[in-house]
Each structure stands twice: as C-alpha cells, then as structure tokens.
Structure 1
Amino acid sequence: MSYETLLYGVQDHIALVTLNRPKVLHALNSEVFDELETVFRALSEDAGVRVVLLTGSGEKAFAAGADINEIAATDTATGAAKARRGQAVLRLIETCGKPVIALINGFALGGGCELAMACTLRIASETARLGQPEVKLGLIPGYGGTQRLPRLVGQPAALKLLLTGEMIGAAEALRIGLVDEVVPAARLLGRGHELARSIATMAPLAVAGCLEAVDRGSDLDLEAALNVEAHIFGRLCGTEDKAEGTRAFLEKRPPTWTGR
C-alpha cells in the first residue's frame, strides 16, 4: 500500500507507521485521518503484524497538532463532525487489537498529543515537548484529550495542562505519567523496536486479550470487570496457542505461536 501522508512497512511481525508531512510538522488534516483509518483497519486484520510503532518522520515533531487552516473554517456543525471523525480514528487505533507504541520525537501538541495518548504505550525522546494548547485558540481538545489525559495523569495534572495550554518536556511528562519511557533521540527508534520485539514474542491472542480486558474493564465496576476477565480467560483456554504455551513450558522449550 502507498500513502500520501504516511510511510508504512512491516518487518518481523512489527509494523512501522510514520506520519510524513514534514513541512507542516505532520499536522493532522482530513487526509491524514483517512489514511490512518485505512492503514489501521488493514493492520487490525493482518495476522502477520503483532505490534505497531507509530512516529513522525525527522526529529522535529511526532505531530504538531490539528491542521489549523481546517479548524479555522469550521462552524458549530462542522466542528462537531470534525471532532467525531478524529475521535473515531483514534478510537480505532486504540482498539485495533495490536499494541501500538508511540515514538514521540519533538513536538506532540494538540491533536498530536491526543494521537499519542490513543496509543498503548508512549516512548519519548529527551527533546520531546507535549501539551494541549487548544485554549489558546478558543477551543478544547476535540479528539479525546479531555478524556484520555485525566485517565493517564489524574484530574489535577490534566486540568493544569488543559487550562494553561502549557507545553511540558519529556522529563515532566514521564513524572506525571503521560509517557512511559524517555530515551536519547538517537535511541528512540531502536528502543521502540526492542520493546516491540519483546511483545511480538508473546502469544498474539493473549496480547490481544490483555488489551481487550483492560479496555472493556476500565469503566466498569470491579465485579463486572472481573466477569469480563473471566470470559476472556476462558476463551483463551480453548485456543491452540494456550495448548502450545502450556506444553512448551512443561517441555522446557520455546513455544511456537500460530495465533489460533
């Protein structure tokens, strides 16, 4: 597949999706969302892909935000539709059934920060700068930022970022829990591949089950969430991978996963 705003490749069960609009720091316009939807729908159905890395080309930006020219042209109706469109694509990324690791190089602001938060894990370079500056434009985040940010960092820390529009560096983002690791810029892609390879060696159905259990259970009370967990556990007990995994453990050998 070829794209106008993305670069895409797969090697050793790991997909690399790279935002590629460097002249505008990978600003998220309608075409970017269309292509992200296309590639992540394909990835969700590709049994050969076990982990996805998502980044921006170059060192200046992961994604600097939404395309302001498009935002400036919206009114009440078209603005709500644009928000729902962005939310739907980010939700697709969040629930594609594969771990998605954001590699944050440079700016991840506004929609770019929201895109990173929709990923499973976030690794930032030491030069990364993150924030939700929408209040400076007379807006709030529209692609899930007001909802995912408090879930990641807690309400007070989230409100501080949302109400001030402040940009924070990688170290502060790590301290509050907005990112999971910080590495030198030269190590960002290498560290992403290391983590992806580690996950890719695990049973793919079990990895997908973990993602599903956490996502479905996060907004339930504990009893209901435990029922979700038990259902997924039982489903996995009937798979060939579970039989292979337990057999390989008892035979003291590495398992061979089939995803069945």
Structure 2
Amino acid sequence: MTRFLPLILASFLVPATGNAEVEFLYAEVFETRYGDIRVGGEQFQQTLWHDRTQLPLPEDARWWVQWAEQGEGAYDWVLASHHHGGNSCGGGFYILRLDESGVAQSREISDCDGLLLDIRTGAGWIEIDRTDLDIEVPLVTVRWNGTDYSETHHFDPIAPPAGAGADVTRWVGDSGYSILQDAGERARFGAEMEIWDMQDLATRLSVGTGVEQAGDWIFATGCQPHACGLEMGAIGVRVSDGAVAAIIRSSDQTDRVFGLGDDPAFRALVAEGLE
C-alpha cells in the first residue's frame, strides 16, 4: 500500500512490529488526500481540525497527530492523541478515517491500558495491537471499520511451572514485573498465590529495581505508580530449587506474605527496597 506524506518527518510513519512500540510523530499538522488534519487552540485547551472544520473531540489537553497511512481504496487513516501534560496516563487515542465524505472517528482508546505495538490497515478497516495491564494478556487487538469497534484479548496458553537453576537466573537484569508476565512463572507462583494476588504484586512492581541475584536468590522490589511508599511489593525465586517468595505491602495494613516471603535471607535482601 502507498503511504501519504505528512508535512514533516515522514520517515516516522512506518509502524513498529514485533515487541517494539509504534514510534510516534508528535506532529501538529498532516496533509492527507482529503485535506489537512491539524491541531488548533491554546496549549492544554487544544483540539483537532479537518481543514476549516473543528472535529467533535475533547478540548481539555494537548493534541498531536501521531501516525498516518493511505489505506487500500478510498480511505486515509490518522491516529491522534491527547494528554493533559502530567506524568501519569489519562489521555487517549482516536482513529480518524478520511474519505471524500469527510472524517469518521473511533471511540477513545485509553492510554492507561497499554502501549501500542503495531498498526495494520486494509480495505476499510484498521487494527492496532497493544499491550495490556492484565498479566495473563500479552496482546490486545483493537479493530475498527468506521462503525464497528472491537477489542480481542489474546491470552497466554497454559504452561508448565518454570524450573530451578537457569530458569531462575534468566531474569537477572530484567524487571520484577516481567517475571509475572511469563506463563511458566505464573504457574510456578500459582502454587502459593492466586492469580489476583499475582496481579496485585505485578502492579506493585511496575516501578522498581531490576532483578538482582545474591547468593541463592534472585529478587526485585518496586511500587505502584504514583503510590511509592504506600503500595510496595517484593518478589523472589530461590535458584537451587525454584521456591518462591513474595510480599505485598499496603500502607497501614499487614503484609500479605506468600511462599518463603518471611525467609530471613529473602527479607534481608528486600528490606531496603520495601522502605
């Protein structure tokens, strides 16, 4: 398919594939076959315009045109986003489909749900792959054809529990959160925790240290975004036998402890990270 060019930085239009994120343009104007999509308004009170017509979109944030493509047949596609300018999620994405009749827009895709990984278009449709906060869902596919909108959640297949030795040390240098995104590790931790406990722990490892090894343990600590010091977590796996340890800490509540979470060696390793 043929791509049309924005007014600036056209090379950024190629969407990412695999596990890479879509690379955004952060442009304020795009020229399509059916007119310009441009940002208008004061800073943090912006919206989008199609030529001389304001689109029915929120006016409470900054806006950018992030990606665009000339699709098959009569349609051009634009992905735009808005955000309040803070350091947390809370904005979102809109897909615009342009043809000779004007502009159709999708429902909002929240930027709190996950990162955008890939974008594909066909004869009248667009699909966007994104990650998800659910640790059992590695991929969600958003599909829109100008009227119908759907989200398909792709769940991990069931896997046997991960083992000891190299199955444990492979996580050194990765994030503690990543451990619980692995189906084999969830099966391992499932002997001591329910899946909702793992989800709570993963949330509390979202901001944190990389996985380290000390003696017979690998371990990591972290906190929930925007609640560090209040919602904390620690995770560990013993290298020699694959035994697990986990602590979920919430302010003014008793620690939720799983597996060998009270083991003195593990407690000593994670004490500073849980402060």
Whether the TM-score (by the shorter chain) exceeds 0.5 is no
TM-score of the pair, normalised by structure 2: 0.23
More helix by share: 1
TM-score of the pair, normalised by structure 1: 0.24
> Looking at both structures, which has the greater relative contact order when contacts are Cα pairs under 8 Å and sequence separation is at least 6?
1
More strand by share: 2
